[in-house]
Structure 1
Amino acid sequence: MNDIRAPWENKVKQGLFSEDPFTEEMHATVLKAVDRRRRLPFRSWNGVAAAIAVCLMAVLLVIRPWEGNDGSAASGDEGLAGVTNAQSFPAAFHPLDAQVLPAGATIRENDPDILPGLSDKYTPLRNGEYAQRIPESDIDLIERKEIPGFGMAIRYTLKSESTVTAPKVEKDGGKKIAYFGFKLDGQPEGTIVHFGTGHMYDLDFEMSRLFGQEVLKIAQAECRIDGESCVWYVRKGEGGVAELAMFSAASYERDLDGDGREEAIVATRKQNEIYVFKENGGKLSWTSVRNDLKAGPDDVVGYDESEGIFTLAREDSFASFRYSETDKSLVRIDD
C-alpha cells in the first residue's frame, strides 16, 4: 500500500503550481479541506504538517480528479461516496500470526513487520515474566518522582554493572550508564524493579486499563527512526512489574465492545493504518479499520480518542463510525 502522502509530495517535487493555474474552485477546495482538517481527529501526524498535507491534497484533487484502482476516473457512485453512504461494515478479526519475543533477543529493523505499516517485529503481547528486582543499596539514586496509584519512578546508576543479569559495558570514557526502574507501592522495602534505560524516566506516565487489567502506560512520542511512537503497558503484581504489551505506534485503550476488556487501538504513521487488538487466553486477534471500511490508498482513516469513534475522509466526504459488538461491525453515526 502506498504512503498516503506520496501523490502530493511528488507533485510538490515537480513544482506544485508551475503549470497549473490556482483557480477560484481550487481556492474554495483548500478552504473546505482546512475546515475539514479541524474536524479530523487523526492523531498520528503533527497538526501543522497534517493541515498543510490536506491542503495540498485538496489542490491536487481539483487539478487531477480521483481515479479508480485501474487508473480510470471514479464515478459519483463509486469510491468513498459509496462507502460513506453505507451504514455498517463488518469488522473482520483474525488471529495474530507473530513470533513471541525471546528473552534477550535483538530486534532488527530489516525483520518483517507483523502487520502492514506496524513496526512491531514480534507479537506485542509479552510473556508475563517479571522484571528483575535488585537491592536498593546497589544503586546510586539520581532522581525520583511519584506515579500515583503505582509507586515511584526512579533514575539511577548501578554501583556495579554485575548487579543485573544482563550487564552492559560502561561507555563514554567510563561514565556510568543511567537506568530506569520503580519503587512500588506495597512492595518490600529495600528493593527496586530494574526496568530499562534512563531516558524512560522522562517519558509520559498514565494509569489505564488494557485487556481487562490495570496497567501503567508509558508513552514515547517519537522513539523510532521512522517517526513512530512507542507505548509500553506494564502491570504490577506480587512479583513486581511485568510488561503486558508493547506497540511500536501511537496506542489507545478503550472497551469498544462493552465486554469489560479494553481493546488496544493502534494508529500508525506508516501507511495510515489503524488496528484494533483483542486479547483472549493469552493470544491476540486483530482487525484493520482501513480494510474494514474499504478505504482506498488515498483515503484517510482516523481515531477520536475522546469519543472512541473512527473516521474516514476523502476530498469533501467525511464519515464517522462506532464499533458495535451486537453487529460486530463498524456502524456509521451522524456527525
Structure 2
Amino acid sequence: MNQSYDLVVIGLSLSSSWGNGHATTFRALLRGLKAQGSRVLFLERDVPWYASNRDLPDPDFCELEYFTSLEDLAERFGPTLQAADAVMIGSYVPEGVATIDAVAALEPQVLCFYDIDTPVTLAKLERGDEEYLARRQIPIFDIYFSFSGGPVLDRLEQQYGARAALPLYCSVDAKRYQNTGELEHWDLGYLGTYSPDRQPVLERLLIEPARRLPQMRFVVAGPQYPAEIDWPENVERIEHLPPAEHASFYSRQRFTLNVTRADMIAAGWSPSVRLFEAAACRTPVISDHWDGLTDFFPEGEAITIAQSSDDVVAALCSTSKEKRAALAGAAYQRVMEGHTGTERARDLLLALDQHRQRLRTAV
C-alpha cells in the first residue's frame, strides 16, 4: 500500500498545452496522484509564450505556482523543496541544467528526473547538446523516470550512470477522454505540433492518401506548421486544439493517425500520449511502426500499422465498421487496464516506496 507523499514537480508547463505535449502528460499524472492521496506543488517557469496561451491556469488537483528566475525559485520555494518527500524535475525546463544544480544543492530528500523526451535527450547528449540536462547530472538523481522503456533503460544505467532508470510512460485521464457520441466528421485525423522529422511521415500517411481519396475528409490539428505546406483541399487545418476539445476531436474520426519522431522510433518503446487518448475515446488508430508498439497494442487486434500511403488507403477503404469497432474496443481495454493517470500515479508512488525501502535496508 502506497503512503501519501508531499511532492514538488518542476516542469516545462502545466498551465498551457500550447506547442508541447508535457502539459497533458503532467495533468493526467497529477490527477492520478491526487486520487491516490498525495499532494503536489507544480512549479512552472513564467514565460510569455505559455502565459498568453494558458488553458489550465487554476488546476483543482494540485497547487500551481510560477517563478521568474532561479533566484526567485530558491528564495520563495527553497524550504519547500527541502521539506518535500520527493522533488521531480522534468525535461525541457528552461535553464534546465542550472535548475537541476540549484535544486540538487538544496539536498532534497529524494531527487528525481522525469524525462518526457528520453530518445531526444539521449540523441542530444550524444551530440554534446546539454540544453536542459547535462550528462554529468544523470547520476545525481535517485530515480530517473523515463518516457521510454525497453533497452533505453539499460543504456541509461550502464552508459550514463543512472542509479535507477524506470519507465514512466505517459497516460490518459480516463474521466476526461471518453467517446462523446458525436457523428463522425473526418475519415482520418492527426493531432500534433509540427516537427520536421515527423513531416515526411505525415506526408506519406495522411497528405498523400488525402490526395488519392478526394471524396474523404481529413484533418490536421496543431501549431507551427510552415505556411508553404501544400495541403490538399480535403484536409482541414486546426491551428491549436486545447485539451478540453481533444475527446470531441477524436470521437469525430473514423480513424486517427499516430506519427512518431525519428529519435523515438530509433529508441522504441516510446508510446505517444495520443495513442492512449484516442484509445480512451474508442477511436481506432493507424500508426507508423516502432519496436515495442505491439507490446502496447497488438497489430491487427488493437491497432493498424501502416508503412506506406497504400497501407493507409487500404485501411480507410477496406476496414469494415465491425472491424473498426473491434480494434477500438481492444485498444480501449488495454488503456483502461494499464495506461490511465491513476495507474501511472501508482507506478510513480510504488517506485518511491521501493526507494524508501532500499534506503531503510541499507542503514
Normalising by structure 2, what TM-score?
0.24
